[in-house]
Structure 1
């Protein structure tokens, strides 16, 4: 048995390293209905999501999914963000298309209707944001909302600012590349 362990354990270790190396590649495929689907590659975006694919599930009145987005302040000083109210722990956010369909219509986001207040994240600190991806049925929408308007490749953007502002929604935003998430796909739940 010891001789067998001496042979199998190194082989299993090598297999684990090989599998790990495959997952560190630029993109990952996922089997989806017996078809390999290329997932978006992880990148060095300052906001990272908890998955590269989200499934919209049917709920009364529409569809929804939830993303957990994590931002780590990479600067040597504090950054500021807009939040809905003084009691809101995290920043407001937006969701936008990215990639080949970045100019296509999208009906999957939140419309903020609240008072805006400054929030702060210190150098090296982390904030996590629960991002709701939702789309109402809207049967009377004109033009009509198509299924393709609800799915695709997206990014979360946080309103990160270099300095506080008396009007947080009018602060000097960091460049988009410094406040966006990695790309992720939104598909319908099967």
Structure 2
């Protein structure tokens, strides 16, 4: 009797779920030029106003790689491949990742945030004049602030104002694990505050 009732409930639940699907949904069909991309965790991305996109994700080696897409796929964009960016030795396995850029027609700067193996909030930055800099010795990077994130936390976000000279990065602090904390740079240095 119990199994009959369970089967009936599962059947009704499945039928209700199936009936709620949109009638004109579109299936994703792989293109003949399919490029396999297998991120281990979340993926962060930035794009300029022309649609050129950079993807940041952790690959099977544990490194964070940068992928490039020329423009949105529905507009004829193509994936140009990926290259290692941040060594696995600097990255927590399955780290959350966040990225920001200025809203311009060409990239002038990009900032990537992630967690180190010691759960330190870390940053790599790219500028059109200096290329990528980062790691424990980057004096301009957030990494040198030594902000420790709560072990096991998956919360990480970043945002910038349109002038791209002020940044905010949200996370769960090891010192304040019951709320979200933000580190903010208003152009003159970093400061930290927790949500009240």
Q: Which band: TM-score by shorter chain?
A: under 0.3
Higher relative contact order (CA 8 A, sep 6+): 1
TM-score (norm 1): 0.25
